[in-house]
Chain A
């Protein structure tokens, strides 16, 4: 399949998954230990994680902005998701080139995945970017640092659940047939 069409489809699927299903389930980890934050898993950054390796930074930034703005439109948080997503898109290239042994332009036609990167590098790459995304988003949303413990707790819990969903997505949508690593 053409890489553009594939990514467009993935954009629609991930945004709809986020907006129609994940936004509706409110997670409470356990009942109520002194106001443990309520949160929802944000899985839509996965779209940015899975874009092809050789994508240039401007293209990444634009797609991050479009993604963030679409989610913002559905959630009435004008600009907040876009802010976090653009930052994440900007840092993506640096994180990837730090983690991978070869230059990014050598991985033509591939996209970050457990098959192309292996489990550990992929997890490090996604956890790092997701933490940055969640931290920025929740700080912008709460907009005061007076109860920083609450913020950190929210970021931590939210990151763990988002990662859980992301791993499930990866396991579901990866073909297991070939195990050709690079």
Chain B
């Protein structure tokens, strides 16, 4: 026993050092498995308040740019409205589009799966391997884990930690998450990020036979947690991998991640039901 105490006293520094490093490793592992440890994230109150104070100050410098982005978003939405009102909704059977059901002769189910909430970006990073964005909306405003976050121009990320008034979002500029994407002709693939430039995304797993040109748009699919048919970016460069005959597309991201200010948190009201169904069917295999 005496020897044991002497041993501890002799190597106390080393033991403390190893102990602290082990605590760090445990913390790192917890975040990497995405279980979420909300204490050490910028969704907690102290970091939230500091970031909010800062954003209050910096806010005014971006007003002009924000006006421009709002205008361009408005034009886009107007175009969309035009497109929808001119389409015969009965022939076009995209179920997620809102359909006017005054006509009772045909049985149509009305879908409006998504609830959009605005949120202000109070902290943003683009230079780590896993980039996080802090928003000024939290559980009290209806934000929950795994909701999609989009901006007026394109996709942003997924909510990972939530506190009462703040939430932190893992952006798609991250090595941790893949997003499924499609080209205009329906060819699907995955969007990943190579941890280098915040404007360039990479679309992998595109088959060789798909005909792609520079400038083609890439959209989200309904497989992922994002609402379908949102613009992700435009093709900048096309590369072919010889090994497996797949193509690699470099995309210019439509969202400017360096200058995010306002985003929409998208709640999918059907996601719980869909997840239970998918889990139950995959459990049976």
**Closest B-chain residue to A82, C-beta based?**
B24
Interface 9-residue window, one of A45-53, A64-72, A114-122: A64-72
**Closest A-chain residue to B51, C-beta based?**
A74
Q: CA A120 – CA B199 in complex, angstroms? A: 41
Q: What is the count of residue pairs linking A and B with beta-carbon distances less than 8 angstroms?
A: 105
B23 proximity list for chain A (CB < 8 A) = 65, 79, 82
Q: A73-B47, A74-B47 are in contact. Are A142 and B195 (CB under 8 A)?
A: yes
Which among B12, B21, B51 is the interface contact of A86 at CB below 8 angstroms?
Answer: B21
Q: Does A17 contact B (CB under 8 A)?
A: no
Q: Does B129 contact A (CB under 8 A)?
A: yes
Q: Does B75 contact A (CB under 8 A)?
A: no
User: Is the Cβ of A20 less than 8 Å from the Cβ of B197?
Assistant: no
**Closest B-chain residue to A93, C-beta based?**
B13
Interface 9-residue window, one of A31-39, A100-108, A159-167: A31-39
Q: Indicate with 1 or 0, residue by residue over B186-205, a CB within 8 angstroms of chain A CB atoms.
A: 00000000111110000000
Minimum CB–CB distance from A30 to chain B (whole Å) comes to 14
User: Is the Cβ of B25 less than 8 Å from the Cβ of A38?
Assistant: no
Interface residues on B, range: 35 or more
Interface residues of B in 157-214 (CB under 8 A from A): 161, 168, 194-198
User: Is the Cβ of B197 less than 8 Å from the Cβ of A79?
Assistant: no
Interface residues of A in 9-66 (CB under 8 A from B): 16, 19-20, 23, 26, 32, 35, 37-40, 57-58, 61-62, 64-65
Q: Does A87 contact B (CB under 8 A)?
A: yes
The CB with the most chain A CB atoms within 10 A, among B17, B39, B41, B198, is that of: B17
Q: Does B217 contact A (CB under 8 A)?
A: no
Interface 9-residue window, one of B98-106, B108-116, B120-128: B120-128
User: Is the Cβ of A141 less than 8 Å from the Cβ of B21?
Assistant: no
The CB with the most chain A CB atoms within 10 A, among B27, B31, B40, B168, is that of: B40
User: Is the Cβ of B25 less than 8 Å from the Cβ of A79?
Assistant: yes
Q: Given contact pairs A72-B40, A78-B40, A86-B20, enumerate 5 new A-B contacts (beta carbons under 8 Å).
A: A58-B16, A61-B16, A61-B17, A78-B27, A80-B28
